[in-house]
Amino acid sequence: MKTLRILAASVALALALPAMAQERPATLVADRLSITGDNVLVAEGAVEVLYQGQRMRAQRITFDRAADLLTIEGPITLVDPASGAIVTADAAELTTDLREGILTGARMVLEQQLQLAANTITRSEGRYTELSRTVASSCQVCAANPTPLWEIRAARVLHDEVERQLYFDRAQFRVMGVPVAYIPRLRMPDPTLDRADGFLTPRFRTTSTLGYGVKLPYFITLGDHADLTLSPYVATRSRTLEFRYRQALANGSYTFEGGVSKDKVEPDEMRGYLFGSGQFNLPRDFVLTFGLQTVSDSYYLQDYDITDQDRLTSHVTIARTRRDEHISARLFNFHSIRAGEVNSLQPTIVGDATWLRRGDLWGGIGSLSLGTNGHYRPSQADVLGRDVLRTSAEGEWQRSWVLYGGIVATSALRTTLDHYSIRQDSTLPAQAARLTPAAGAELRWPWSRPGNAGVVHVIEPVLQVVGSRTTRQGLPDEDSVLVEFDEGNLFSLDRFPGGDRHETGLRVNAGLHYSRLDPTGWQLGLTLGRVWRGSDTDQFAPGSGLGGARSDWLVVTDLTNFALRGSGTISLTNRALFDSDLSFSRNELRLGYDAGRLAMATSYLWLAPDAQQGLPEGASEWVMDAAWRLTANWQARTDWRYDFTADQATRAGLGLTWRNECIAVDLSLSRRFTSSTSVRPTTTFGLSVDLVGFGTGQPGARSRACGL
């Protein structure tokens, strides 16, 4: 049999398909081959034809050279990778390049999603496929369950392989066999098309603030590198037009999105918002980024469920980072919509510029940085409207040695010179300078020991001594108000986050880190540390964990990808600050659980009262998100945020999704409980239905079993 198939292929290539082989070689393989006269070749039995990437399988093919025609008997399967189409038929007549002809009793499958069954399929010009009396659906259809969940019936369907569009003539949309809509003309993208003009999936939304509503986005392509989405949102108490514009350029891209609303919530105002962002590559490796955020009123973003942000930031940045150099210049505009904050008294305009250069110096690493930082308040009031400009120069040198027994010794020197220009604050001088030198020495002694089954244990004690002083105290603090004590700055020369404050005095930073590395992939880490000072410098608030002559104990536990026996993996991080009497000032717990069908992430934060850091009553909050795949088609989700200090939930949400191979239905219910001068309590209900197979981007789930 193999010999006959090889012989048949050879004869076909030599005698039967010269026209097909003029541009690229063609291949025909069959079990039996016969030639009638000089013009007719008959191939029978498991026939395959391969030409220009297309593959056709059939039971019998008759090739008439004079007519340049292939008469094919099925079952027939034609696969065209270029268009992502698979065609099956009972019989066909095609030209020898397989690009024109008629197929009867045919079915076409696009991108393994959308099925189109027709009485006949006509191919023409190598581009168009016309189907008559067609049924289209991406749902599975079987003998025991012949009615799909949804289908589109049409007198005629035209598939344009170049434009990747489907044109329906006299279309009828049916759900479970019941007609629900008649559309004389309908155009839809095929599943292979990423971008095309047309309506996107509608979203139904009901809120206690805006009432019942529907959002119907319309996508508009503006060439290959730009697009615009217009989303009219009509609700019982609102009329809104949202938009999103995206543009890609040779050196970058940018996006703007926003909305304009007229509603009964604020009937005397035209409401809206505008957000934008972009990034551009400039000459000499510089990168420019920008962001824009503005809103008409403090309620709008929450009323229309856009974002929970209560401080808006607009900025423009130019930066370049190389191996030994960093240059950046940034300008920010901050606008608060948080209750109790007055923008005229806040530093709404903030700018900074930095130049940093580093390299080898005296056997170690040396760095030099120059920078400036400015804060502007719109208010003209004395003290409350203070404006500050700080210019700084800083030099640093650091070197490490490996001593006997693997001990790593490090020494560091740093000197910072700051100059301040101060306006609208009669309690401070108009000009002031400050010099802050610092020096530190550190010893690390990592120990490593292999355990059973490939486990590795690592213990690293660290001892660091740092001394620093400053020539000037009492200067304004704009960027170092909130200080956090964690494992990231336990062994830092300076624990203030900004440049307006420098840590001073003699101090000893000591800690111990333990790691257990398991070959199965999970890890356990434990960090214990504390800071001892020569005297209380009164620089840090009590709630920061760094106040007094001795800091709180810092204990961090980190467990990653620990496999529970047959029930998923967990990841846990706990960060705690407490003093020698076990009086806690902070505790933060994060827990993640993933068992395949069930995934959950939750966190709990507790902070002791600290008026200096804006927490007169402290904070205690629990946040939880979970998703549970109930069956192959059903998935539930929930989210929760509870404020124990206020003794009330601030936000809760539930969601339910059903998805199979051809449809995705999503239901959601959320409630925002918090009420303030900038946030209203709101209940929101949402519904969306996506038809898989028409470029919705929704992935299909497992198909229904036949008979169910």
Q: State the CB neighbour count (10 A cutoff) for residue 488.
A: 10
3-state secondary structure of 601: strand
Sequence spans of domains, the chain: 2-189, 650-708
Q: Give 275's contacts (C-beta < 8 A, 6+ positions apart).
A: 256, 257, 258, 291, 292, 293, 294
The pLDDT assigned to 24 comes to: 55
Dihedral sign, CA of 648, 670, 209, 272?
A: positive
**Average pLDDT estimate for 378-407:** 95
Confidence of residue 460 (pLDDT cuts 50, 70, 90): very high
Element (H, E) at 2: helix 2-11
Q: How far apart are CA 348 and CA 25, in angstroms?
A: 70
pLDDT in tens, 85-111: 788 888 888 776 667 888 888 888 877
Quote the pTM value.
0.81
Query: Taking 80 as the threshold, does the pLDDT of residue 690 lie above it?
Result: yes
pLDDT tens digit sequence for 554-596: 999 999 988 887 688 999 999 999 998 888 999 999 999 998 8
pLDDT digit string, tens, across residues 544-553: 889 889 999 9
DSSP state of 12: I
Count CB neighbours of 58 within 10 A. Answer: 24
Average pLDDT over residues 467-491: 91
Count of positions (residues) in the chain: 708
Q: Does the structure show a pLDDT above 90 at 254?
A: yes
Percent of the chain exceeding pLDDT 70 equals 91
Please give the residue that has the higher pLDDT: either 483 or 367: 367
Q: Is the pLDDT of residue 8 over 90?
A: no
pLDDT(699) > 70? no
Average pLDDT over residues 241-252: 96
Check residue 12 and give its pLDDT: 43
User: Residue written as tokens 């030994």?
Assistant: 324
pLDDT at position 162 over 90: no
**pLDDT score recorded for residue 69:** 80
Using alpha carbons, list the distances in angstroms from residue 278 to 158, 230, 244, 251. 40, 20, 13, 11
Residue 122 near residue 95, CB atoms below 8 Å: no
Alpha helices in 331-439 (DSSP H): none
Give the strand pairing for 431-444 and 32-36: unpaired
The whole-number pLDDT of residue 695 equals 53
Mean pLDDT, residues 309-325: 95
The strand ranges marked E within 138-225 are 150-160, 165-175, 178-189, 198-199, 203-207, 211-215, 218-221
Most confident of 33-47, 267-281, 608-622: 267-281
More confident residue, 279 or 6: 279
pLDDT at 704 > cutoff 70? no
Q: Tell me: pLDDT of 22 over 50.
A: no
pLDDT at residue 125 is higher than 90: no
Query: In the predicted model, what is the mean pLDDT of the chain?
Result: 87
